[in-house]
Amino acid sequence: MTDPSADEVYQRPHVRRAVLAFMSQLGNGTHKALNTSNNSNCRYNKEKNLWEPAEVERLYDEANKARERFLSVVEQYDQTAEPKYRTNVDIRSEHGWEDVMKAVDAGVEAYQTQALTGFWGRIRRGFRKFSNAGSSCCAFLDLIPDSVFSSTICGTLKLILSAAQRIGEVRQEVMDALESLPEILSNTEETLSIYYTSDQMHRKTASLYVSIVDALEAILAWFKRRAAGKAFRALFQQGDYKQTLIDSMEAMKFGVANFNETAMRCAMHVLRNVDQGVARSRQENNAGFNKSK
């Protein structure tokens, strides 16, 4: 019987948990496995208490461009909406998950008849379930070097929920997309914090962020069309927003899958290194034992 490969060993739940637990302890700045010389390709981020790639910002160039474009798209909602549908949410201000949940609670209070079975009941259960788990669907985004990424996501969700409260109706496909958003993103499992020095993990995180804002833009498109004043309605009548929404949600799921697959590869790489280190240590110990005879 042949010995299992490193990949096969890592698939065992207890081994995977052990590796992840071991790696989670490497976040401080004192571990000998981390290269702190001037030639190191990593640097220490005191704010996040994590080591990161020395030029980590460049890995988010495309994500930053997508974010800037998206901010302008979000701002168009209040600019084109009828006065009674405007949210007065400043998307460029700082926003957090607490703001999202306040918007959910405000909607539930305004529509008590839907609090259990309607749109607000579904949204509240989905968002509360994830929030009560001790994190939020934006938790892993807080690890990105620039915290504005997480703020943009939370601010957009706050605006969308505020718009839903004012409009008083939500299409089924939009409802389904909003309800599934926290569940989809919860699958990231916050593994970026464990493999924070990996360029590839940051690249996948940046790609995932772009797919998230694309999905939010597709969700927002329906609200913009529904709330637009007469002077702007012609701007939002073209295109199949429903198919765009479906495609964007699928793209986001694909981004999450790529994120998790890259994390697994990082874990396998760590496991191989640990396995090789153990083997070398045994050889050295055996050699020392033989010499002492």
> What would the mean pLDDT of 30-46 be, rounded to a whole number?
52
Q: Is residue 20 part of a domain?
A: no
For residue 212, give its domain range.
Answer: 63-268
> What would the mean pLDDT of 159-172 be, rounded to a whole number?
88
pLDDT tens, residue by residue, 234-274: 666 555 678 888 899 999 889 888 888 888 887 777 666 55
Q: Is residue 222 part of a domain?
A: yes
In the chain, the amino acid numbered 42 is: C
The mean predicted confidence, pLDDT, of the chain is 75
CA-closest candidate to residue 120, choices 130, 129, 110: 110
Q: Is residue 99 part of a domain?
A: yes
**pLDDT on residue 110:** 78
> What would the mean pLDDT of 180-201 be, rounded to a whole number?
74
Give the lowest-confidence range in 73-82, 108-117, 134-143, 214-223.
Answer: 134-143
**pLDDT on residue 277:** 54
Contacts of 6-14 with C-beta under 8 Å, sequence gap 24+, read 6/268, 6/271, 6/272, 6/275, 7/268, 9/271, 9/275, 10/264, 10/267, 10/268, 10/271
List all residues 6 or more positions away from 237 whose beta carbon is below 8 Å from its beta carbon: 225
pLDDT tens, residue by residue, 106-150: 888 877 655 556 777 778 777 776 665 445 455 666 667 677 888
Q: Is residue 51 part of a domain?
A: no
What three-state secondary structure class fits 50? Answer: strand
Q: Is residue 210 part of a domain?
A: yes
What three-state secondary structure class fits 135? Answer: coil
Q: Judge if pTM exceeds 0.75.
A: no
Q: Is residue 21 part of a domain?
A: no
Q: Is residue 262 part of a domain?
A: yes
Does the pLDDT of residue 217 top 50, yes or no?
yes
Please report the DSSP string for 148-188 in residue order: HHHHHHHHHHHHHHHHHHHH----HHHHHHHHHHHHHHHTT
Q: Is residue 292 part of a domain?
A: no
Split into its structural domains, the chain has a count of: 1
**pLDDT on residue 30:** 39
List all residues 6 or more positions away from 200 whose beta carbon is below 8 Å from its beta carbon: 262, 265, 266
